[in-house]
Amino acid sequence: MHDWLVKYLSKSRTVAVPMPFTTYTYIADPANVEHVLKTNFANYPKGEVYHSYMEVLLGDGIFNVDGELWRRQRKTASFEFASKNLRDFSTIVFREYSLKLSAILSEASFHNREVDMQDLLMRMTLDSICKVGFGVEIGTLAPNLPENCFARAFDTANIIVTLRFIDPLWKIKKFLNVGSESLLDKSIKVIDDFTYSVIRTRKAEIDQARKSHDDKASHPDHSQIKHDILSRFIELGENPESNLTDKSLRDVVLNFVIAGRDTTATTLSWAVYMMMAHAHVADKLYSELKTFEEDRAKEDKISLLHYDIEDSKSFNQRVTQFARLLTYDSLGRLHYLHAVITETLRLYPAVPQDPKGILEDDVLPDGTRVKAGGMVTYVPYSMGRMEYNWGPDATLFKPERWLKEGFFQNASPFKFTAFQAGPRICLGKDSAYLQMKMAIALLCRFFKFNLVQGHIVKYRMMTILSMANGLKVTVSRRS
């Protein structure tokens, strides 16, 4: 469907698709997108239909509500995401799990084993976001790649609620509790049992820490303070005006898990694929990372450990040493790395299309009339491929388009819409870039990837642009 829309939107910047009782309007022109996402924002909510389909998983979390409920959560969440504590905690977590991934790839390269990079990256981002979101270790990226009931249930629920958008019988299945809806019911129970158990445990830990502090009548032990999102929201919930129940906390955290897991892993998968398909990009990025490593070592007055790519121990020690050089601030120097990830998002946006409801009849800037009760969908997948947005080389993977004299230059968020734009622009954008840059820096500095012969890479038709068959690769170490 995404490529079908590319064909139509390249001929006409707006495509109206009449449906029984309604019309779906698809837009790819930045002026129309700005109108919907910013200028007349109030007229284009998520809408009741979207809320009803996703409520079982997302509840009344930030991605599934409009109006005052959304505004209140947005304000709190934006404050949390701006906090240095959360940023520093996230940096440590993202580094830790990128190193775990590197250790698995190092082993695979030594034994010449094929790996599914998309599966590994999904495990890495799920473990990371559960640590940042809940403060818990769920361990799906352990060396033996164990099954995890929460992870499995979360995946299943995510797929089934997405399929509701194209399954006209889902409400009947739900009423009769059969088929996919019966499976969804069981999956949500597993998710809720895990989430509520973590909430209860964390509340008890906070109470215990306070009692211990009161008993000692001394300064708090700062090592006991947790910086995960759940702990912060529990503290905020102690204000009676916040109206935060355990159900609200469950919704808050699951919304961050769904936002921070699939989107980041999917983008990383496409980035690895793009570097395999464009060897000159991988080589240029490797060169930037090598120079960065040498410069940082000189600044910090440290000697880079000698390593032999045939010796796992010395190789892994050097990877760990390099990872320590990757901080929030130092990653900001890697402009080509930032450009590679952004160019991946331009052509393979994690959310390929995003529908909005229409409250009242309206006229878009290009003169298209839209009617109340219909849907307007802006299409990042198409927008990145339009010559009228990006010029004649729009379909080419070209990170250099983001650089001016070696420095990264942003584009309008209404043209580059991978993180949405306007009042609902993604709060986790910096956090997502931080994790992606940490992971790609380690992967591209120390490994080369080759697609397994005969493996077909194509997207799965879902809310998120994941790969239908995974990403099967062989891995070799780089000196």
State both tokens at 404.
């001016």
Report how far apart, in Å, the C-alpha atoms of 405 and of each of 200, 396, 400, 401, 408 are. 53, 20, 10, 11, 9
149 annotated binding-site participant: no
Instruction: Tell me the C-alpha distance between 202 and 259, whole Å.
Output: 22
Please, what's the b/e burial string for 175-200 (b: 16 or more CB within 10 A of its CB; e: otherwise)? eeeeebbebbeebbebbeebbeebbe
Contact (Cβ atoms closer than 8 angstroms) between residue 271 and residue 449: no
Helices (H), 141-278: 149-163, 170-176, 179-216, 229-236, 246-260, 262-277
d(CA 279, CA 334): 19
Instruction: Tell me the DSSP string of 427-447.
Output: TTHHHHHHHHHHHHHHHHHHE
Contacts of 284 (CB under 8 A, 6+ apart): 336
Residues 6+ apart with CB under 8 A from 102: 316, 319, 323, 442, 443, 446, 447
Annotated binding site: 426
Annotated binding site for heme: 426
